[in-house]
């Protein structure tokens, strides 16, 4: 996604730098202000020395947040995975796992689809990649690697070689290597395309719930045979499952309507 920080070993190393007292005060002012805008705190006429202090301070702190996120997200995913496996962790309050996920989302503000995504990340990589490894590689690269590694094969030599490469190379270099070796189509294919359609808020909510329902995902997996299931794969499965019947019924309806129109036109011609 545009603007997303893709962490790397370089990012993790950079964030180890210590802030000077001046830089620490700058960050406190930026993060703690309730009345000033960013533009007021970083004015157009900022002094050269202040600029040289502020830039690394912001970059270091932003990098720390990004690196921390890369570890905490799979940690949250691991908790969601354990909850899926052990209902005693939540059945004192919820009847179903899906209700538990919805409850976590309602309490934290996290989207259910994100919680399922985090669980999937942990399911695939938390037993292979250590915490520091998540910091050095990051979710974006892991998603790319997951595209060429079958589920259950994350601890093979093939996967380990890709993980090692990802630790020391940029996302662009990883995309290029994957394309050359596995014909993935590179970054453009990984980015993909998006279909958008107009709907109201209720429909959007119901659609999001449907596509993240574990039973729907499981059935779509059985129909498509794919290991990784997302919205696009579920739609593929729905089309494959419904297309024959829908096309057949639709053709009959069109034919019936056409016959009715022709009959009406014939009657009107006779009356004329």
Domains of the chain, residue spans:
9-191, 201-271
Give the pLDDT confidence score for residue 151 in this predicted structure.
Answer: 85
Q: What is the mean pLDDT of the chain?
A: 85
Contact predicate 92/188, CB 8 Å:
no
The pLDDT of residue 220 is 80
| Angstrom distances, CA of residue 198 to CA of 49, 201, 204, 206, 232 | 50, 10, 9, 14, 17
Residue ranges in the chain whose pLDDT is less than 70: 1-5, 183-196, 224, 226-229, 272
Share of the chain above pLDDT 70, in %: 90
User: In sequence order, what are the residues at sequence separation of 6 or more whose Cβ sits closer than 8 angstroms to the Cβ of residue 12?
Assistant: 67, 132, 135, 136
Distance CA 88, CA 18 (A): 44
pTM: 0.62
């Amino acid at each position: 996604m545009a603007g997303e920080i893709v962490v790397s070993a370089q990012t993790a190393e950079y964030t180890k730098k210590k802030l000077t007292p001046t830089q620490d005060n700058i960050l406190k002012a930026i993060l703690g202000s309730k009345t000033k805008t960013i533009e007021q705190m970083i004015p157009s006429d900022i002094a050269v020395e202040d600029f040289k202090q502020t830039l690394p301070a912001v970059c270091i702190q932003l990098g720390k947040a990004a690196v921390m996120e890369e570890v905490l997200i799979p940690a949250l995913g691991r908790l969601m995975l354990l909850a899926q496996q052990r209902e005693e962790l939540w059945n004192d309050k919820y009847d179903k796992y899906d209700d538990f996920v919805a409850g976590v989302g309602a309490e934290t503000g996290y989207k259910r689809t994100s919680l399922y995504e985090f669980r999937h990340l942990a399911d695939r990589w938390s037993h292979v990649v250590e915490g520091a490894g998540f910091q050095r590689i990051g979710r974006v690269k892991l998603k790319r690697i997951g595209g060429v590694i079958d589920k259950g094969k994350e601890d093979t030599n093939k996967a380990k070689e890709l993980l090692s490469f990802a630790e020391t190379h940029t996302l662009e270099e990883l995309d290029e290597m994957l394309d050359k070796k596995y014909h993935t189509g590179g970054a453009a294919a990984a980015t993909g395309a998006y279909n958008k359609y107009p709907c109201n808020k209720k429909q959007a909510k119901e659609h999001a719930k449907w596509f993240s329902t574990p039973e729907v995902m499981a059935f779509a997996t059985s129909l498509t045979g794919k290991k990784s299931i997302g919205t696009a794969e579920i739609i593929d499965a729905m089309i494959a499952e419904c297309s024959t019947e829908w096309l057949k019924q639709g053709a009959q309806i069109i034919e019936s309507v056409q016959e009715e129109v022709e009959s009406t036109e014939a009657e009107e011609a006779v009356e004329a």
